[in-house]
Amino acid sequence: MGMGQNEGRDADADSTDLVLRISRQSRLYTAECKFHKIVTHEDLLQWEASVLGYEFKKKLPIGNRKIAIPIDVTLRVYIDFSDFSPSQVRREGETIHIILPDPRIVVSSSRVDHKGIRQYTNITRHEYTDEEMTSFTRQGVQSILKKAPETGILDTARENAAALLVPLLTQLGYKKEHIRITFKDRLEETPLELLYDNEGSVIRLTKE
């Protein structure tokens, strides 16, 4: 692959800094899930026509290409303590009631298995470009994000947040049965777009 590969030498990669943004945070990550997906795209050339309102489609037997891209995506769920205030802590006698904000999902990392990519291109078509492959990867991550709540990761995050805070409070003198931890809103009714942390990501969840 690559006409020039046997003809010349490859230079070392070079790099230049572009952007650096530092933010102070107070996020407690309580759950993490890892997904593996094979993103596929089949590009079949087809002829489409519309005559007097009737539509016709016909696949052409030439110029097809296909690609399969394995990706690994890690999502993390966190509770944001940056706005945690005394109003979220209520005391009723010996009982302490803590109201935590909704957990939020963030893409921690996404990785393409470049060695695992398989593409098959007809001689009449050009190979998939880097830009096309990146676009497919982005669509793949988007589809994983939409399915994330179905995995139960939000429940795991809430349970683990409680599991982390309860021993902490018992060490400070509270009895287990006097500790109550709840979350602000009913997560089942929260739109997915609000559960997903868009900040710093070019991936935007859109309503279907």
Partner 1 sequence: MQKIRSFLQFLFTLACIALLVWAFTLARQWGQGEAVPSLFSFRLGGKKGIAPTPAQLRSIERIGKWEFLSIEDEEIVDTVRHRLLLPDQHLVRIYRGTLSLGIDLSQAQQEWVRMQSDTVVVTLPPVTLLNPQFIDEACTRTFHETGTWDAQAREQMYQKARRVMMDRCLSEENLRMAQETGKAHIKTVFRNLGFENVVVE
Contacts to partner 1 from residues 181-200, by CB under 8 A: 200
Q: 30 exposed, middle or buried (CB, 10 Å; 0-12, 13-18, 19+)?
A: buried
Q: How far is the CB of 182 from partner 1 (least distance, A)?
A: 15
Instruction: State which of positions 72-91 bind partner 1 (CB under 8 A).
Output: 72-74, 76, 78, 81-82, 84-86, 88-89, 91
Residue from 102, 109, 78 nearest 88 by CA: 102
Q: Could you tell me how many residues of this chain bind partner 1 (CB under 8 A)?
A: 108
Contact code string over 9-48 relative to partner 1, x by CB under 8 A: xxxxxxxxxxxxxxxxxxxxxxxxxxxxxxxxxxxxxxxx
Half-sphere exposure of 152 (CA within 13 A, CB side): 3
Pick 136 or 183: Cβ nearer partner 1:
136
154 binds partner 1 per the rule CB under 8 A:
no
Q: Which one, 55 or 189, has the nearer CB to partner 1?
A: 55
Closest contact distance (angstroms) between CB of 198 and partner 1 is: 12
User: Toward partner 1, which CB reaches closer, 113 or 185?
Assistant: 113
- 80: part of which helix (H) or strand (E)? strand 65-80
Q: Which of 100, 105, 153, 181 binds partner 1 (CB under 8 A)?
A: 153
Distance of alpha carbon 75 from alpha carbon 105, whole angstroms: 7
Q: How far is the CB of 24 from partner 1 (least distance, A)?
A: 5
**Shortest gap between Cβ of 187 and partner 1 (angstroms)?**
16
Residue 63 vs 190, nearer CB to partner 1: 63
Contact string 93-132 vs partner 1 (x = CB under 8 A): ---x-x--------xxxxxx-xx-x---------x-xxx-
Q: 74 is written with which tokens?
A: 């890690």
**Distance in Å, CB of 194 to partner 1, minimum:** 20
| Pair 26, 82: CB distance under 8 Å | yes
> In whole angstroms, what is the distance from residue 52 CA to residue 168 CA?
72
In angstroms, the CA 14 to CA 142 distance is 30
Indicate the DSSP class of residue 176.
G
Q: How far is the CB of 120 from partner 1 (least distance, A)?
A: 14
Q: Which residues contact 93 (CB under 8 A, 6 or more apart)?
A: none
Residue 96 β-bridge partners: 91, 179
Q: Is 138 in the site for partner 1 (CB under 8 A)?
A: yes
d(CA 151, CA 149): 5
